[in-house]
Structures are given as C-alpha cells and as structure tokens.
Amino acid sequence: MIEFFAPAKLNLYLHVTGKREDGYHLLDSLFCFASIGDNIKVSRSNEISLEIEGAFSGELQDCSNNSIIKAANLLKEKYGVSSGAKIVLEKNLPIASGIGGGSADAAATLLALNELWELGLATQELEDIALKIGADVPACLYRDALQVAGIGEKITKLGAMPQCYVLLVNPLKAVSTPAVFKNRVGDFSKEMPLDKVPDNINDLIDVLSIRQNDLYEAALSLETEIADVIKMISDTKGCLLSRMSGSGATCFGLYQNIDDVERALEQIISKKPEWWVENGYFL
C-alpha cells in the first residue's frame, strides 16, 4: 500500500490578469501548501476503484466524475498500464472550498500511482495529465511555495515558506469556482510575481499586503458569510493577515506564534461551532 498526503492549497494572493479565448482566466498567484489535508492510499487491484471515507465523504457521492478516477484513467491510458488500483480517499477538507481539495486529491493520486505502477516518472512529467484534470492540479503535485501563472500551468518553485502558523476557516457553504469567475467584474490586475519567498514572516506580510485576492468581491456576492469569516479571523490576537483563498469560501489567518493560532482556533470554534476550523503550518 502506498500513501500520499494531499495538502490544502492556499493562494496567499491571487491576481486575475486576463482571460483566454476559451473562457479560462490568466492568473498570477503565490501558492503554498498546508499541513492540513486529505489522504490518498493506493494498493494493487485488477480494476480501478475508489472508496471515500473521512469527515466530508458523505458530500462526494457521485464518484464517476471524481477527479481521482479521471487521474487514474488518464495515467493508465497514457502509459498503457494493464493493472488497476484500489484507491481510498480520506476526505478531510470541505468540498468546493477554495483550497484545492479535489485538485490535491487528483495530484496525490498521480504521485501514488506513479509509484504503485512503477512508472518511474519525474513529477514534472505528470504535469500534462494533471492539467487535463484541472487548472490547479499541476501545482498540487508540489509541496514548495510556487509562483503560478497562465491558468495554472506555469509553475516556478520558490522553495520553503518562512516559519509561521496558519488558521483555516470555512463557513461550510460550498462556493462554485466557475460561478465566482463568471461573477468577477472590473479591470484585470498587474502581474506582481515574487522571485523568492521572503525568509521571515514580517517581510512576507509586507509583500502580501500590496497584493490581494481578486476573486474576493465576486465570491462575497455569492456567499456573504465570507466577510464574517475574514472579520472573525482578523479580530483574533496575533493575526498578521487574513484573506480568502482561491474562489472561497475558505479564508486563512497567518500568525507568528503557535499560542496565538491555537487560541484563535479555540475562540472561533466556541463562537461558530458549525464552521470548519483547523490550524497548522506550511509544508
């Protein structure tokens, strides 16, 4: 049995810089990955099959369209693999939540099956198949901080994040990514890519504070509770920045001290027990 972690993906900033003729948007974004995520286990089998367990398994009923099955089939076809795989997903991340759950699951499936089927592919060689599954999937093959452009396929590795702690909060309201992109109005933003990640949290906050998430207003108009999430995070002691990730509704808070992030977690859980709240660090 081979196991791969499928970490939550965070967009520390996300600029929409243009639109392609096929309707996909061009992005400029700093991606990083958290210690909070799903888990993929694969083992030998004749057929490709998927079982889903974990806190959010109930919300993923239609497996036929699942990004995991798509990843397995695409890899099998491209490399003429004759065997199948029993795949088990532990679904810990909320669905349609802006932290790449489905993309991370597909990417971890490609990484795990590359080992199970002994294909010996370098991670970069999985990027083409990953992009066929979704725009964020190629980036989710990695664990480093990434500068991402194009629709998600232009990836520059920036190395490790500075040490800091992250709080993730989702009001458990699913937000549709296509609907958010469709709802976006206004001019396109400038590309402001980083060539390295600042090596301390204060410098990171400085570079993030002159960038933003361009999908925030569009997501907020679909799900007004996102504003309450941001406010509740930013009101906690020691929070250096709070922002929505991706197309929402998950928002994150960044903290320098572990005590502050743990206290923030407890406070928000006690005020909003119906929300999803987790703390962790960057990989």
Q: Which amino acids are annotated catalytic?
A: 9, 136
Q: Which one of 1-9, 120-128, 174-182, 227-235 is the stretch in contact with ligand C5P (CB under 6 A)?
A: 174-182
Q: Per-residue x/- marks for ligand C5P, 1-40, CB under 6 A?
A: -----------------------xx-x-------------
Measured from the CB of residue 28, what is the shortest distance to ligand C5P in angstroms?
A: 11
Candidates 135, 145, 167, 204: give the one binding ligand C5P (CB under 6 A).
Answer: 135
At closest approach, how far in Å is the CB of 34 from ligand C5P? 19
Q: Which is nearer to ligand C5P, 27 or 32 (CB)?
A: 27
3-state secondary structure the chain: CEEEEEEEEEEEEEEEEEECCCCCEEEEEEEEEEEEEEEEEEEEECCEEEEEECCCHHHCCCHHHCHHHHHHHHHHHHCCCCCEEEEEEECCCCCCCCCCHHHHHHHHHHHHHHHHCCCCCCHHHHHHHHHHHCCCCCHHHCCCEEEEECCCCEEEEEECCCCCEEEEEECCCCCCHHHHHHHCCCCCCCCCCCCCCCCCHHHHHHHHHCCCECCHHHHHHHCCHHHHHHHHHHCCCCEEEEEECCCCCCEEEEECCHHHHHHHHHHHHHHCCCCEEEEEEEC
- The CB-of-45 to ligand C5P minimum distance in angstroms stands at 27
Does residue 152 interact with ligand C5P by CB under 6 A? yes
Least separation, in Å, of the C-beta of 249 and ligand C5P?
Answer: 15
Which residue, 74 or 264, is less far from ligand C5P as judged by CB?
A: 74
Write out the binding residues for ligand C5P, residues 179-198 only, by CB under 6 A: 181
Q: Which is nearer to ligand C5P, 134 or 253 (CB)?
A: 134
Given the rule CB under 6 A, which residues bind ligand C5P?
24-25, 27, 134-136, 151-152, 177-178, 181
